[in-house]
Chain A
Amino acid sequence: MSLAKAQSIAEIKARNKELIQEVLKVYPEKTAKRRAKHLNVHEAGKSDCGVKSNIKSIPGVMTIRGCAYAGSKGVVWGPIKDMIHISHGPVGCGQYSWGSRRNYYTGVTGIDSFVTFQFTSDFQEKDIVFGGDKKLVKLIDEVQELFPLNNGITIQSECPIGLIGDDIEAVSRAKSKEYGGKTIVPVRCEGFRGVSQSLGHHIANDAVRDWIFDRLTPENKPRFEPTPYDVAIIGDYNIGGDAWSSRILLEEMGLRVIAQWSGDGSLAELEATPKAKLNVLHCYRSMNYISRHMEEKFGIPWCEYNFFGPSKIVESLRKIAGYFDDKIKEGAERVIAKYQPLVDSVIAKYRPRLEGKSVMLYVGGLRPRHVIGAYEDLGMEVVGTGYEFAHNDDYQRTAQHYVKDGTLIYDDVTGYEFEHFVEKIRPDLVGSGIKEKYVFQKMGVPFRQMHSWDYSGPYHGYDGFAIFARDMDMAINSPIWKKTKAPWKDVAKPRLLAAE
Chain B
Amino acid sequence: MAQNAERVLDHFELFRGPEYQQMLENKKKMFENPRDPAEVERIREWTKTREYRDKNFAREALTINPAKACQPLGAVFASVGFEGTLPFVHGSQGCVAYYRSHLSRHFKEPTSCVSSSMTEDAAVFGGLNNMIDGLANSYNMYKPKMIAVSTTCMAEVIGDDLNAFIKTSKEKGSVPADLDVPFAHTPAFVGSHVTGYDNAIKGILEHFWDGKAGTAPKLERKPNDKVNFIGGFDGYAVGNLREIKRIFEVMGIQYTVLADNADVFDTPTDGEFRMYDGGTSLEDAANAIHAKATISMQQWCTEKTLPFIAEHGQEVVSFNYPLGVSATDEFLMALSRITGKEIPDELARERGRLVDAIADSNAHIHGKKFAIYGDPDVCHGLAAFLLELGAEPTHVLSTNGNKAWQEKMEALFASSPFGQNCHAYPGRDLWHLRSLLFTEPVDFLIGNTYGKYLERDTGTPLIRIGFPVFDRHHHHRSPVWGYQGGLNVLIKILDKIFDEFDKNANIPGKTDYSFDIIR
Contact A125 B189 (CB under 8 A): yes
**Beta-carbon contact of B270 and A31 below 8 Å:** no
Would A96 and B133 be within 8 Å (CB), given that A91-B70, A116-B453, A121-B61 are in contact? Answer: no
Mark A56-76 against chain B: 1 for CB-CB distance below 8 A, else 0: 111111111111111000000
B188 touches A91 (CB 8 A): yes
Contact B92 A31 (CB under 8 A): no
B5 touches A348 (CB 8 A): yes
Q: Is the beta-carbon distance between A136 and B44 smaller than 8 angstroms?
A: no
The answer on a CB contact under 8 Å between B5 and A466 is yes
A122 at interface by CB-CB < 8 Å: yes
If A60-B134, A442-B110 touch, does A100 touch B141 (CB 8 Å cutoff)? no
* Cβ–Cβ contact B61 & A463, under 8 A: no
B65 at the interface (CB under 8 A from A): yes
CB contacts under 8 Å to B, within A36-81, are: 56-70
Contact A342 B11 (CB under 8 A): no
Whether B92 pairs with A241 at a CB distance below 8 angstroms is no
A273 to B97, CA, bound (A): 33
Hey, which chain A residues are within 8 Å of B9, CB to CB? Answer: 463, 466-467
Contact with B along A251-277 (1 / 0, CB 8 A): 100000111100010111100100000
Q: Taking the nearest CB of chain B, how far is it from the CB of A191, in angstroms?
A: 4
Given A26-B140, A26-B141, A60-B134, A467 and B70 contact (CB-CB distance below 8 Å): no
Determine if A174 is an interface residue (Cβ-Cβ < 8 Å). Answer: no
B134 touching A438, Cβ below 8 Å: no
Q: Considering the chains assembled together, what is the distance between the CA atoms of A61 and B99 in angstroms?
A: 16
- State whether B31 touches A259 (Cβ < 8 A): yes
A375 at the interface (CB under 8 A from B): no
Cα–Cα, bound, A251→B27 (Å): 11
- The answer on a CB contact under 8 Å between B10 and A456 is yes
Stretch at the interface among B52-60, B248-256, B507-515: B52-60
Q: Among A60, A106, A142, A349, which residue has its beta carbon within 8 angstroms of that of B114? A: A60
Cβ contacts under 8 Å, B35 to chain A: 112, 149
* Number of chain A residues whose Cβ lies closer than 8 Å to a Cβ of chain B: 129
Can you name the residue of chain A whose Cβ is closest to the Cβ of B68?
A91
With both beta carbons as reference points, the residue of chain B lying nearest to A438 in the complex is identified as B110
Is the CB–CB distance between A467 and B10 below 8 Å?
A: yes
Residues of the A chain whose Cβ atoms lie less than 8 Å from the Cβ of B333:
none
Which B residues are in CB contact (< 8 Å) with A244?
15, 20, 23-24
- CB <8 Å contact, A192 and B23: no
* A216 beta carbon closer than 8 Å to chain B: no
User: Nearest-CB distance from A432 to chain B (Å)?
Assistant: 12
Checking B3, B101, B117 against A59 with a beta-carbon cut-off of 8 angstroms, the contacting residue is B117
Residues A438 and B133 in contact, CB atoms below 8 Å apart: no
**Does B100 have its Cβ within 8 Å of any Cβ on chain A?**
yes
Q: How far is the CA of A398 from the CA of B213 in the complex (A)?
A: 50
User: CB-CB contacts of B132-157 with A at 8 A, as 1s and 0s?
Assistant: 01111110111000000000111001
Provide the bound-state CA to CA distance between A222 and B158, in Å: 46
With A60-B136, A70-B94, A128-B157 as known contacts, state yes or no: A100 contacts B11, CB within 8 Å: no
Contact (Cβ within 8 A) A248 B55: no
With CB as the reference atom, state the residue of chain A lying closest to B122: A192
Does A138 touch B at the CB level, under 8 Å? Answer: yes
**Residues of chain B contacted by A342 (CB below 8 angstroms):** 1, 3-5
Of chain A, the residue at the smallest CB distance from B138 is: A60
A164 at the interface (CB under 8 A from B): yes
Does B119 contact A163, Cβ atoms closer than 8 Å? no
- B313: CB under 8 A from chain A? no
Residue of B14, B31, B52, B117 near A258 (CB, 8 A) is B31
A163 close to B157 (CB less than 8 A): yes
Q: Is A160 in contact with B153, judged by CB distance below 8 angstroms?
A: yes
Contact A123 B273 (CB under 8 A): no
Check A111 against B47 for contact (C-beta < 8 Å).
yes
CB within 8 Å for A191 and B95 given contacts A120-B66, A342-B5: yes
Contact between B40 and A111, CB atoms less than 8 A apart: yes
Q: Is the CB of A58 within 8 A of B133?
A: yes
The 8 Å CB contact of A90, one of B23, B140, B188, is B188
* Contact yes or no, B270 A192, CB < 8 A: no
How far apart sit A391 and B513, CA to CA, in the bound complex (Å)?
66
Q: Does A104 contact B (CB under 8 A)?
A: yes
Q: Given A92-B73, A110-B47, A111-B40, decide whether A97 and B5 contact each other with a Cβ distance below 8 A.
A: no
**Is A206 positioned at the interface, with any CB of B under 8 Å from its CB?**
no
Provide the bound-state CA to CA distance between A457 and B14, in Å.
10
Of A14-22, A309-317, A413-421, which stretch is located at the interface? A413-421
Q: Are B8 and A470 in contact (CB under 8 A)?
A: yes
7 further A-B contacts with Cβ under 8 Å, apart from A65-B97, A125-B187, A456-B11, are A60-B135, A108-B44, A142-B59, A244-B24, A251-B23, A257-B31, A466-B3
Q: Can you name 24 A-B residue pairings with CB atoms under 8 Å?
A: A28-B136, A31-B140, A60-B135, A68-B94, A90-B153, A96-B99, A104-B15, A111-B44, A120-B63, A122-B66, A124-B189, A138-B60, A146-B64, A160-B153, A257-B31, A268-B33, A339-B1, A416-B141, A434-B101, A435-B100, A435-B111, A441-B269, A466-B5, A484-B271
Nearest 5 pairs of A and B residues by beta carbon: A67-B94, A92-B70, A59-B134, A60-B134, A268-B33
Query: B residues touching A (Cβ–Cβ < 8 Å)?
Result: 1, 3-6, 8-11, 14-15, 19-20, 23-24, 27-28, 30-35, 39-40, 43-44, 47, 52, 55-56, 59-66, 68-70, 72-73, 88, 91-95, 97-102, 104-105, 108-120, 122-123, 130-131, 133-138, 140-142, 152-154, 157-158, 187-190, 192, 267-274, 431, 434, 450, 453, 456-457
